[in-house]
Amino acid sequence: MTSGQSEKDFFGMALKFCQQIFQGLGNRRIPETECKHLLDMLYHAGYQPPDSTESPKEIDWYFIRNAKELQEAGIKFERREGSSRLLFDVDFSENGTIEIPRLKIDDRTESLFRNLDAYEQCSPLKHLYVTDYITLMDCLISTQEDVQILRHSEIIENGLGDDGKVCSLFNNLCRNVTDSQRHHFCYNEVFNRVNEHCNRKRNVWMATLKHDYFNSPWALLSFLAAVVLLLFTLAQTVFTVMSYFQMD
Domain ranges of the chain: 1-46, 50-205, 217-247
- pLDDT of 200 reads 79
- pLDDT of 186 reads 83
- pLDDT of 127 reads 74
At residue 97, does pLDDT exceed 90? yes
* 175 close to 42: Cβ distance less than 8 angstroms: no
Calculate mean pLDDT across residues 91-112.
Answer: 89
Percent of residues, the chain, with pLDDT higher than 70: 62
Select the more confidently predicted residue: 72 or 217: 72
Select the more confidently predicted residue: 165 or 232: 165
- pLDDT of 1 reads 45
- pLDDT of 174 reads 83
At residue 228, does pLDDT exceed 90? no
- pLDDT of 73 reads 86
Select the more confidently predicted residue: 237 or 111: 111
The mean of the pLDDT values for the chain is 77
At residue 140, does pLDDT exceed 90? yes
- pLDDT of 43 reads 66
Which stretch of 58-62, 67-71, 111-115, 180-184 has the lowest confidence by average pLDDT? 58-62
192-221: pLDDT as tens digits: 999 988 887 665 566 566 666 666 666 667
Helices and strands, number each (H, E), in the chain: 10, 5
At residue 109, does pLDDT exceed 80? yes
Q: What is the C-alpha to C-alpha distance for residues 66 and 226, in angstroms, rounded to an integer?
A: 30
Percent of residues, the chain, with pLDDT higher than 90: 24
Q: What is the C-alpha to C-alpha distance for residues 182 and 58, in angstroms, rounded to an integer?
A: 10
Q: What is the C-alpha to C-alpha distance for residues 46 and 18, in angstroms, rounded to an integer?
A: 8
Q: For residue 75, which of 55, 58, 57, 100 has the smallest C-alpha distance?
A: 100
